[in-house]
Amino acid sequence: MLINGVQTDQVSALDRGIQYGDGLFETIAIMDGHLSLWERHLQRLHHGCDRLGITAPDSAELLAEAKTVIKNHQKGVLKIIVTRGIGGRGYRPPVDMQTNRVVYYSPWPDYPEACWEKGILIRICSTCLGINPTLAQLKHLNRLEQVLARSEWVDSATFEGLMLDSDKRVIEGTMSNLFLIKDDMFITPDLNRCGVAGIMRGLIIELATTLNIPVIIKDVSLDDLKAADAMFISNSLIGMLPVRELLGVSYSLDLLPSILVKTVDDYISGRY
């Protein structure tokens, strides 16, 4: 682990990351020793810093640190945490903060291969997502909603839980975005009120459009889920993962366009 380029895993307890969750993070796939979709992750991180008024870390420096951290790893996960820095009594951020950056490697999660072949079982979480347009789409460090939602089940058969906003719209999974397939169109929830704008979600929307698959971004209800022909979740590590079952309803596994699945895989593994 590197913190501001120094090999350590210690941060000050006065860092606003721990005090208030005042920061952002990225979770990046490492495939064949390559940082998957690096430019997109960097761009989202910068955009998040802009939105929160945090001084963005230097891109070249961050890339150098990322490469140092992954240099002995062919496959795994790189996590970057950026916080506003140390200090300020109270919520108001002082001027001239020194952004802190944490860069570290984790092993690849052991998702069973059968998930992709047979699809996954998912559920609906009762913990909701608060509506806040100011924070919507950001991958910020305030993640208690996800922690509590992910605490709602322990059985390993259930891969993911979907979260609704406080007005009962379906938004996303605890660690993934959601796509429905209905009449050969993709539908994915609008994230203007809450939710995380996933890098993989963005890539899928772009690629689908290129492949002439219509993508509709709109509010999604529980009824829309029941009416869908197929469903998949996405994130930077899993790519696209088809849903087999939700709330006792079975979904088709054959409707994910194979050319799209292959192109996404190629992007993740750096062949594009």
Number of residues that bind a copy of itself (CB under 8 A): 58
Which own/partner pairs from 239-242 qualify as long-range (CB within 8 Å, at least 24 positions apart)? 239/200, 239/264, 239/265, 239/268, 240/179, 240/200, 240/204, 240/264, 241/115, 241/116, 241/119, 241/120, 241/159, 241/176, 242/116, 242/119, 242/120
Instruction: Indicate if 139 belongs to the active site.
Output: yes
How far apart, in whole angstroms, are the C-alpha atoms of residue 240 and residue 162? Answer: 15
Residue 235 interacts with a copy of itself (CB under 8 A): yes or no: no
Residue 146 interacts with a copy of itself (CB under 8 A): yes or no: yes
Among 30, 122, 141, 228, binds a copy of itself (CB under 8 A): 141
Task: Spell out, one character per residue from 106 to 125, where the chain touches a copy of itself: x when CB under 8 A holds, - when not.
Answer: x--x----------------
Binding part of the chain for a copy of itself, among 34-42, 91-99, 217-225, 255-263 by CB under 8 A, reads: 91-99
Catalytic residue among 27, 99, 127, 158: 27
Name which of residues 27 to 86 contact a copy of itself (CB under 8 A): 52-53, 81, 83-84
Burial 68-107 (b: 16+ CB within 10 A, else e): ebbeeeeebbbebbbbbbbebeeeebeeebebbbbbbbee
Binding site for a copy of itself (CB under 8 A): 1, 3, 9-22, 25, 52-53, 81, 83-84, 89-93, 102, 104, 106, 109, 126-135, 140-151, 166, 174-175, 193-194
